[in-house]
Chains A and B, each alone.
Chain A
């Protein structure tokens, strides 16, 4: 039985994961490019103009995937962090560290494109809507994670401290989300709700899904590239890194 399965734990060591990641990166880039071209074609040419919102609505093809990714990456990051704390694997911490900047970028993109969408639709760059506010707080959580890791010199301690912060953050995200939501209904601030979406045309939904796939592939490719850089940085003292072609040169 055992010899038929791939031994996945083999790739938990940076030494064997480094070449594997190197082999996977071009594939994910290619997939990202394919999905990106198809998704952008659907969103710019195939999707019909919205009756109420005109052409301006097309920003949601970037906005919605970015928001999804920003939330999902935090979960993945926390999962890696938890894995690193329980199994004490070095690679898990590196993965969490590699994912954080991409997650922060997605949260920022989501806020930015949201502002661009809000100005023509609501007449304001920013409203204190529950979703906008919790996305902003998520962005703060990413920044806190990155800042904590950057401030600690010992990489192992940085990983573990970051892991605890990510787990505390993941417990808090639902609490923060609901508190912001109830705060918003108490104040009755924004009269326009993001949740009341007009019944969406099928092509629009497809465009969004394909763009989401593109964002997925991009995030994976970038995270793998970053984790390769982190591995090289942390393992410079080892023999196998010195043997690598790209290091020798």
Chain B
């Protein structure tokens, strides 16, 4: 457990020392969301309807941007090999890295989303559902993304390939996440969608570190 906390602490420290990387992904999120009204037009009704989908798609893309860094720098300077050799189970260390990735790339998106939601004229309760859905959904994105990041480690054209592998797997998160907000707005209640999202998160939290570990071992072999 202490090893897991140490990994989280180390990755957070590294992220704090290189703030620009975290901030770039964050501003990418803001810019993508702001582009949609410019492309579609300023009618409030339409914007209100597409807001959940736009915010979620932008969150997926912003997560994709930061996934590359998850293992690449550690792979380059040899830290990853030391992690594999360490007596602590690799799955635990990987879980720590994924948690740190969520804290630096997922959590800022969650905190920023209500502000952007205001631009789209979402009411307060819908904003609450949006934040709840993102809170459940963004860890899921980090977990699934970690598998892709480990598979494409040190591979030619890794970045584009990563999006090709991971984005189809993100579809359930997108559907239930954006669906929760839409269901709430239309008066159906978001409970079902949020429960499914939580179930997916539980499933991924169990399997994803395991699959990531297997992929990392293959990459380093």
Contact = CB atoms under 8 A, between A and B. Distances in A.
B151 A165 contact: yes
Contacts of B172: 172, 175-176, 179
Contact of B218 (A151, A157, A180): A157
Interface residues of B, number: 29
Binding site secondary structure of chain A: helix
B171 A137 contact: yes
A137 to B, nearest CB: 5
B55 to A, nearest CB: 17
Interface in A81-132: none
A183 B152 contact: no
B161 A147 contact: yes
Nearest to A146: B164
Contacts of B219: 157, 161
Interface string A206-241: 000000000000000000000000000000000000
A88 to B, nearest CB: 12
B87 interface: no
B211 interface: yes
A180 B164 contact: no
Given A147-B161, A175-B200, A176-B171, A161 B151 contact: yes
B182 interface: yes
* Size category of the binding interface on chain A: 20 to 34
Contacts of A171: 207
A148 B164 CA distance: 9
A103 to B, nearest CB: 14
Binding site secondary structure of chain B: helix
B77 interface: no
A148 B179 contact: no
Contacts of B165: 144, 147-148, 165
A186 interface: yes
Contact of A148 (B151, B171, B182, B196): B151
Interface in B117-169: 147, 151-152, 155-158, 161, 164-165, 167-169
Contact of B151 (A143, A164, A172): A164
B176 interface: yes
Contacts of A244: none
B76 interface: no
A157 B161 contact: no
Given A144-B164, A157-B221, A186 B169 contact: no
Contacts of B207: 171
B151 A179 contact: no
A194 interface: no
A147 B179 contact: no
A72 interface: no
A228 B168 CA distance: 31
Interface in A134-169: 137, 140-141, 143-144, 147-148, 151-153, 157, 160-161, 164-165, 167-169
5 contacts: A144-B164, A147-B164, A148-B165, A157-B221, A176-B169
Given A147-B165, A148-B155, A169-B169, 15 more contacts: A140-B164, A140-B168, A157-B219, A157-B221, A160-B218, A161-B151, A161-B219, A164-B218, A167-B211, A168-B211, A171-B207, A176-B169, A182-B179, A186-B179, A186-B183
Q: Which 8 A-B pairs have the closest CB atoms?
A: A179-B172, A140-B168, A183-B175, A160-B218, A144-B165, A179-B175, A151-B155, A144-B164
Interface of B: 147, 151-152, 155-158, 161, 164-165, 167-169, 171-172, 175-176, 179, 182-183, 196, 200, 207, 211, 214-215, 218-219, 221
